[in-house]
Amino acid sequence: MEITDKPKYYLPGLGQSWLVVAVLIGGSIVAGIVAAIIGVVKNMSFDYFTNNNFALLYAMQMVLPFLFIWLMGYNRSREPFAESVKIDKPHIGKFNFITLVIVLIVATFATMLLLDPFNEIFEMPDIFKDMFKNAGNNPIDTLIGVAILAPLCEEFILRGTIERGLLATYRSKKSGPLKAILWSAFLFALIHLNPWQAVAAFAVGCLIGWVYYRTHSIWAAIFIHFVNNFSAIILFLIYPNLDPEATTKQIIEAETGSTTLYWAMVAGGAVLLALCIYLLNKYLPKRPQSFVPQKKELIAEGAE
C-alpha cells in the first residue's frame, strides 16, 4: 500500500471533523509563532514578514493538519477490515471535460456576483487590506499562496477529508449528503476566522461541496476554489490602485453614476447560477455510490 493512500482510511465523523479544524487553527498559531521568531532573528516586523512571505507562512500553517490527517489514516489502515473511501474517484456523468470546466467557471463567477452585495455588511480585516495592497509588490508569492496553495490544501482538508468522512458517516441517511455538504461548508467558513469572508465562504463552500459529492472529483473542487481566488487576486494585480474595500457596486456606481447596471449584473448572476445548477444536476450522477466505504480484505499469508 502506497504512503499516499493512507488518508483514504481516515473517515472523520462530525466530532472528528471539529478536531481536524482545531488542529488546522493550531497549525496557524504555530506558523504565526515561527514567523514571529524568524522576524526577530532577521530583524523584521511580523507584518513585513507575512506580506512578503505569504506562501511560505501559509505552507507552514498546513504542516500540522496534513501530518495529523496522515497519521490518523495510517493508524486506521492498520486495523483489520479497515474501511476506506478514495479522496478522488471522478465520474462526470454525461458531461465531457471541456463542457464541465465551462459550466464550473460560469457557476463560480455567477456565485461571486450574487454574493457581492454581502461584501458591504462586514469590514475587511486589516491583514487582507495589506495583502491586496501589497499584491503587486510580490505577485508570484501572492498567487502561489492564494491561488494555488489555498485551493489545494483547503480542499484536501475540507472536502477531501471532512466532507468525504461525513458522507461515509451519514451514508445510511437520506439527508446524509445534505448534512455533509452543509457541515463542510460551515467549517470552511469558520476556518477563515473573520465575518467578512464567512457568508461568501459558506455559499461557495456549498457549491464546491455539492460538486464534489456529485463528481467525487477533488480536482473539480480545487478548480472552483482556484477560479474564485485567482480572479480576486488578478483584479488587484491589473488595477494596483484599486481600493481593497471597494465592492463591485461601488466601482460601477463611480464609473456610471448609477447602480442600475450593478443590480442587472447581480440578477444576471442569479439566472446564470440557476442555469448552471440545473445543468449540473441534470447531467451529473444523482447519488454516486463511490462514497460508500470499502472494507479492506485480509489475504491469507502465502496465498496466491
For 215-255, write each residue's pLDDT tens digit: 999 999 999 999 999 998 887 777 777 666 677 787 788 77
Domain boundaries, the chain: 3-295
Side chain identity at residue 41, one-letter code: V
Please state, in angstroms and rounded to a whole number, the distance separating the CA atoms of residues 246 and 238.
15
At residue 301, the pLDDT reads: 43
pLDDT for 281-301, tens place per residue?
999 998 888 999 988 765 444
Q: What residues pair up with 294 in beta bridges, in sequence order?
A: 84
Query: What residues does 139 pair with on adjacent strands?
Result: none
1 and 150 Cβ atoms separated by less than 8 Å = no
Q: In this structure, what C-alpha cell is assigned to residue 195?
A: 465575518
Among 150, 123, 118, CA closest to 233: 150
What phi, psi does 216 have (nearest 5°)?
A: 50, 35
**Do the Cβ atoms of 82 and 296 come closer than 8 Å?**
yes
Strands, E, within 62-178: which ranges? 83-84
Phi and psi (nearest 5°) for 122? Answer: -115, 150
